[in-house]
Amino acid sequence: MSDRHGRPRRSVGWRRQLSVILLLSVGGCGEPGDVSRSTAPQAPIQDPEENASMDDVPPAVGPTGLECGKAMPEVSGGGLTLTGTFPSVISSAEHLLSGTVEVASAGDGVRGVVTPTADVVLVRDGLVATLPVAQDSVGMEVELGPGRVQQLVGQASLAACDPRSGGLPVQPGAYEVYVRVVLTGDDGSVVESVGGPWPLEVT
């Protein structure tokens, strides 16, 4: 085939075909970075400590717990001698039983930190009837040598710890008063001392 000048025309069909082939080839090749490819979402990396259950946390080690309606722990010096001074009769309308507790070393001497006041509970028929009142978390340093005595305040709530009582005072009758002092030594050791009983009549 010739143009108007009589020169043969060049065929451009092969160029168009090659362009189509190249376009198809490029469109069909998937590169690793091709955004058209769908990739499965990856789970975020989590810190193993964040996945730890509360059940995995070891229980705190501390003094014997006082449980309402349970037996009072046996009297034990625990390195300290406790002497309580409390009224022998009190009205349930008073709400609080107040007294003093003298703390002395049962041996050569002790040194450490105790709570500002002694824990005081009422016991009836061998079972805990009231629980200690809440205390300030700030401790008090004590150093007891032979023959030296530290005096602490002791207060007991007269509210019955049984939840069925609705916070009402304990029933009138005969009770026993027990005290507890927990001493944390300089080496971190915890020594629990329980003293009593002393009789109390609630009217």
- Output DSSP code: residue 19: H
What integer pLDDT is reported at residue 54 of this predicted model? 34
Confidence of residue 40 (pLDDT cuts 50, 70, 90): very low
| Angstrom distance (rounded) from CA 177 to CA 141 | 25
For the cut 50, the answer to whether the pLDDT of residue 65 exceeds it is yes
Share of the chain above pLDDT 90, in %: 42
For the cut 60, the answer to whether the pLDDT of residue 30 exceeds it is no
For the cut 60, the answer to whether the pLDDT of residue 157 exceeds it is yes
For the cut 90, the answer to whether the pLDDT of residue 123 exceeds it is yes
User: 83 and 197 in contact (C-beta within 8 Å)?
Assistant: no
Residue 38 token pair:
């769908």
What integer pLDDT is reported at residue 7 of this predicted model? 53
Closest CA to 72 of 133, 117, 123: 123
User: What is the rounded average pLDDT of the residues 10-24?
Assistant: 45
Share of the chain above pLDDT 70, in %: 67
Any idea where the domains of the chain sit in the sequence? 80-202
In this prediction the pTM is: 0.66
80-202 topology per CATH: Immunoglobulin-like (2.60.40)
Closest CA to 180 of 97, 117, 104, 126: 117
What integer pLDDT is reported at residue 126 of this predicted model? 93
Distance of alpha carbon 165 from the chain centroid: 27
In this predicted model, what pLDDT tens digit does every residue of 179-194 receive, in sequence order?
999 888 888 888 888 9
For the cut 90, the answer to whether the pLDDT of residue 173 exceeds it is yes
Q: Which are the contacts of 166, defined by CB distance < 8 A and separation ≥ 6?
A: none
